[in-house]
Amino acid sequence: MRVEWMNELTGPMEVPEVKKIDEVCSVLWNRKGKRLRAQWVCWFGEVFGQSQEQLKLYAWAVEAIHAATLLHDDVIDKAPLRRGGPSANALFDNTLPILSGDYLLSDAIFQLAEQGHPLLTKLMCQAVKEVTQGEVFQYDYRYKIPESLDYFEKLNRLKTSALLKWASQVGPILASNRGDSACAAFAGRYGALYQFTDDILDLQGSATKESWQDIKEGKVNEVLFLLLETYPEVKKRLEEAFTKKNIGSRFLGELKTYAKEKKFKNRVEEALEGKQRECLVAISTLDKNLENTLNKLVSLTVQRLY
C-alpha cells in the first residue's frame, strides 16, 4: 500500500482570501505529524478496491479536520508545543488559531459536500459532533475524579475513535454505499489502545511533551485513574487538591514515586496487554490483506513506549 504522496498532501483546501489563516494552519500542516487517519483512509480504502486518486479527497479531509481540532485543543489546554515546535497559539494568540481552525474545518466539510460521497459527508458531520462532545465531556470533568472506567470508554469513543472510525468507513462506503461494522469495531478498539499509550507517555514524558501534563491541567487520564485505584490513600489526597484546584510540587513528586512502584507498573502492563489483545482479536475479523499492516500498527503503537 503505497502512500508516499501523503508527504505532499496539501489540498484541496481553498486558498483563503485572508492569508493569515493559511499562515496559522500551516504551523500544524507543515509539520505533518503521523497522518495516521489519512493512512487509515488508504489502508481500508485499497482493501475495498479504491484507488489512491479516489481516496485523496477523504485522506486530506480527515487530516484537515484533525488539524483543526488540534488548533482548538492547544488553545483550550494553553499548550506551548505541538509536534516538536511552538504551538499556533504560542506563535500568534488564542483568537487566530480558533478562527483558523474554524475555517479549516468548514472548508473540509465544504469539499466533502461538493465532491464526496453524501453518506461520508453526513458521517463526517456526525464525527465532528462526537469529537466536540468528547472535548466538552472531558472539560466538564476537570478537577474531578471519574467514578469508574466507564468514563474513559465514553471519552475514547467520542474523542479518540470518532475520526478513526470515519476513516475506516471510506473504502466500504465508496465500494458498496454502506459501512463495515468490523472495520468500525477495530477502530474503536485501536482508539482505546492508542489513547492508553498516550496516557502512559503523559506520566513518562517524551521529547515533545512534559510529563504529568494532564494532572497539571486538572485531568485524570486512565493510567492515573489506575494509580488512584491501586493506592486509595492517594485518591483521597488528590480529591482535596482538586478542591483547591492546585497540584503542589510536593504532592506531584509523591505521585511520581508511587508511579515507580512495581504493583502499579504491573497493573498498567496488564491493562495495556488487554487492550492490545482486543485489537488483535478485532483484526482477526477483517480482510486478510489488512492483517499484516494492522498487526504492525498495533505493535508499533505499543513499542513507542519503550
> SS3 letters for 126-178?
HHHHHHHHHHHHHHHCCCCCCCCCHHHHHHHHHHHCHHHHHHHHHHHHHHHCC
Burial classification of residue 92, based on how many CB atoms lie within 10 Å of its CB (0-12 exposed, 13-18 middle, 19 or more buried): middle
- The answer to whether residue 2 sits within a structural domain is no
Range(s) of the domain holding residue 82: 10-303
* The pLDDT value given to residue 33: 74
Banded pLDDT at 123 (limits 50, 70, 90): very high
User: pLDDT higher for 230 or 2?
Assistant: 230
Question: In this structure, what CATH number is given to the domain that contains residue 210?
Answer: 1.10.600.10
Query: Do 48 and 1 contact (CB within 8 A), yes or no?
Result: no
Compute the average pLDDT of residues 279-283: 97
Range of weakest confidence among 66-70, 86-90, 287-291: 86-90
Q: Where are the beta strands (DSSP E) in 150-283?
A: none
- The answer to whether residue 1 sits within a structural domain is no
- The answer to whether residue 203 sits within a structural domain is yes
Three-class SS state of 81: strand
| pLDDT tops 70 at residue 211 | yes
- The answer to whether residue 256 sits within a structural domain is yes
Banded pLDDT at 8 (limits 50, 70, 90): low
- The answer to whether residue 210 sits within a structural domain is yes
Banded pLDDT at 9 (limits 50, 70, 90): low
Residue 35 CA to its chain's centroid (Å): 11
- The answer to whether residue 5 sits within a structural domain is no
Which is nearest to 62 in space by CA: 99, 104, 18, 117? 104
Strand duo 85-86 + 81-82: pairing: antiparallel
- The answer to whether residue 4 sits within a structural domain is no
| pLDDT tops 90 at residue 81 | no
**pLDDT, tens only, 172-188:** 999 999 999 999 999 99
Alpha-carbon distances of 236 from 73, 231, 233, 241, 243, rounded to whole Å:
29, 9, 5, 9, 11
Q: What is the DSSP letter of 4?
A: G
* The pLDDT value given to residue 132: 96
Count how many domains the chain has: 1
* The pLDDT value given to residue 3: 42
How far apart CA 35 and CA 244 sit, in angstroms, is 39
Which is nearest to 36 in space by CA: 74, 6, 5? 6
| pLDDT tops 50 at residue 163 | yes
Q: What is the DSSP letter of 274?
A: H
- The answer to whether residue 44 sits within a structural domain is yes
